[in-house]
């Protein structure tokens, strides 16, 4: 069967659906090439002397792994010269990154978590890169952090790369969700699944159960009912998976359904959950909704949340529509 490359897919998307222009096409190809480089670096492991801690801390106060820093640098260097971006923002950097004055600026803003799931790096469990694309406001010379604070509905593209048994790139430009597998022999991304759809019903949930005693009552009630299974009000048994790598958990849900939860809890009201809105929850919410699923913060659509800070956190409930509606409904109750 003739395989379609990422480049061909993007050219046809631009030609037939006009969901992307030449500059956005370049942006996606540059990010995809950077993810390929990250994949090669990740897969070297100890052979590439890329494992372990970088002995530095990021804005989140988290100790950075060497591969966090390497992945961030790969994305920054790949994207600064092409003329497609006005500025960038990263989970690993406190402030936004301007495009060097020696390069032209473009119409887009790129946000990313360069290597999500870092706690899994040193134990060889799947990790990933998450990215989100916004349009820069017209006519500004140097973007500010404020220019990034747009709701998730403003995203023009979102995607992730998952570095697992296969390296895959999952992408949406607002016309469905499409999956590309890295052909390591050719060094190219090949379309392997078009228009991914999340089953509306599921028997699989993903949450870090060790936080159970801290959860607010709607989540306590919802998870208790899942655990009660066929003996409880749900009348069916559920299975649990938790990879502690959002990209891997979301990819499983995109592939076979499920509900992913990282709720706020009683420990620190100023930190509602662990996941960040701008470069984790928003891109994943766009992907999930484009695949027929749902994504809320327990109260409303994640994509509708008006951002106030670049690194703000948000509770996340996403995946199979029917389950997201149940747990969100319990919050309303
Ligand atoms: P916990 C990884 O650090 C991450 O940001 C997400 O990828 C993942 O879903 C979550 O945190 C795991 O959190 O509390 O299980 O370590």
67 forms beta bridges with none
Total count of domains within the chain: 2
Q: Extract long-range pairs of 212-216: CB within 8 Å, 24+ residues apart.
A: 214/265, 214/266, 214/267, 215/263, 215/265, 215/266, 216/263, 216/264, 216/265, 216/266
Q: Are 258 and 122 part of one and the same domain? A: no
Q: Give tens-digit pLDDT for 151-181.
A: 999 999 999 999 999 999 999 999 999 999 9
Same domain, 245 and 142: no
3-state helix, strand, coil in the chain (%, to 5): 40, 25, 35
Q: Report whether pLDDT(1) > 80.
A: no
Query: Within a domain: residue 69?
Result: yes
Q: Which residues pair with 214 in a beta bridge?
A: none
Residue 224 C-alpha to ligand 1 middle, in angstroms?
22
Tell me the pTM: 0.97
Nearest to 6 by CA among 114, 167, 246: 167
Q: Does the CB atom of residue 265 touch ligand 1 within 6 A? A: no
Q: In the prediction, which pLDDT does 51 show?
A: 84
Whole-number Å distance, alpha carbon 18 to ligand 1 midpoint, is: 36
245 Cα: distance to centroid of ligand 1 (angstroms): 6
pLDDT value at residue 319 = 98
Is 246 close to ligand 1, i.e. is its CB under 6 Å away? yes
Q: What is the pLDDT of residues 177-228, one digit of tens each?
A: 999 999 999 999 999 999 999 999 999 999 999 999 999 999 999 999 999 9
Please report the atom of ligand 1 found closest to the CA of residue 275: 5
What is the predicted pLDDT for the residue at 331? 97
CB of 142 within 6 A of ligand 1: the answer is no
314 inside domain: yes
Question: Which residue has better confidence, 51 or 109?
Answer: 109
Residues 125 and 265 in one domain: no
Residue 118 is classified by DSSP as: G
Whole-angstrom CA distances from 120 to 59, 128, 170, 205, 246 are: 20, 10, 20, 20, 11
Same domain, 27 and 165: yes
Element of type H or E holding 128: strand 127-135
Domain end: 193, 217, 249, which one? Answer: 193
Question: Does the structure show a pLDDT above 80 at 60?
Answer: no
Residue 55's pLDDT is 85
Q: Which of 136, 162, 193 is the last residue of a domain?
A: 193
Q: Are residues 316 and 215 in the same domain?
A: yes
Task: Give the model's pLDDT for residue 45.
Answer: 87
Full residue range of the structural domain in which residue 152 is found: 6-193
The verdict on residue 199 lying in a domain is no
113 within some domain: yes
Residues 16 and 106 in one domain: yes
Given a contact cutoff of 8 angstroms between Cβ atoms, the answer to whether 299 and 285 are in contact is no
Q: Is residue 1 part of a domain?
A: no
Given 161, 193, 225, the domain boundary residue is 193
Average pLDDT over residues 5-12: 96
Of 38, 105, 34, 106, the residue nearest 67 (C-alpha)? 38
Rounded to an integer, what distance in angstroms lies between the CA atom of residue 125 and that of residue 88? 28
Query: CATH no. for residue 267?
Result: 3.40.190.80
| Spatial contact of 213 and 219, defined as CB atoms under 8 Å apart | no
Chain-wide mean pLDDT for the chain? 95
Beta bridge partners of 260: 206, 318
CA distances from 176 to 150, 171, 294, 301 (A): 22, 8, 14, 18
Helix axes 246-256, 282-290, angle to 10 degrees: 10
Contact 178, 9 (CB under 8 A): yes
The per-residue pLDDT for 125 is: 97
With cut-offs at 50, 70 and 90, classify the pLDDT of residue 297.
Answer: very high
């Amino acid at each position: 069967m003739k395989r379609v490359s990422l480049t061909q897919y993007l050219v046809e998307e631009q030609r037939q659906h006009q969901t992307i222009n030449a500059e956005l096409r370049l942006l996606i190809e540059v990010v995809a090439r950077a993810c390929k480089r990250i994949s090669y670096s990740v897969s070297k492991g100890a052979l590439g002397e890329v494992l372990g801690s970088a002995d530095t801390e990021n804005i989140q106060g988290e100790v950075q792994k060497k591969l966090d820093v390497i992945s961030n640098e790969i994305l920054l260097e790949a994207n600064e010269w092409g003329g497609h971006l006005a500025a960038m923002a990263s989970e690993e950097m406190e402030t936004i990154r301007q495009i060097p004055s020696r390069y032209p600026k473009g119409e887009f803003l790129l946000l990313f978590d360069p290597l999500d799931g870092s706690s899994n790096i040193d134990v060889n469990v799947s990790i990933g890169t998450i990215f989100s694309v916004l349009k820069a406001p017209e006519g500004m010379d140097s973007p500010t952090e404020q220019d990034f604070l747009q709701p998730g509905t403003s995203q023009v593209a979102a995607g992730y790369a998952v570095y697992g048994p296969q390296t895959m790139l999952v992408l949406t430009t607002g016309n469905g969700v499409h999956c590309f597998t890295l052909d390591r022999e050719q060094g190219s991304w090949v379309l392997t699944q078009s228009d991914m759809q999340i089953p509306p019903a599921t028997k699989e949930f993903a949450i870090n159960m060790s936080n159970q005693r801290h959860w607010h009552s709607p989540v306590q009630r919802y998870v208790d009912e899942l655990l009660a299974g066929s003996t409880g009000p749900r009348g069916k048994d559920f299975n649990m998976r938790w990879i502690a790598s959002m990209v891997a958990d979301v990819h499983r849900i995109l592939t076979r359904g499920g509900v992913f939860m990282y709720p706020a809890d009683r420990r620190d009201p100023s930190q509602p959950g662990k996941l960040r809105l701008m470069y984790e929850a928003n891109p994943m919410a766009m992907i999930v909704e484009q695949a027929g699923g749902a994504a809320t913060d327990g109260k409303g659509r994640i994509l509708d949340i008006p951002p106030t800070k670049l690194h703000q956190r948000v509770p996340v409930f996403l995946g199979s529509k029917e389950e997201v509606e149940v747990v969100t409904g319990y919050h309303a109750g």
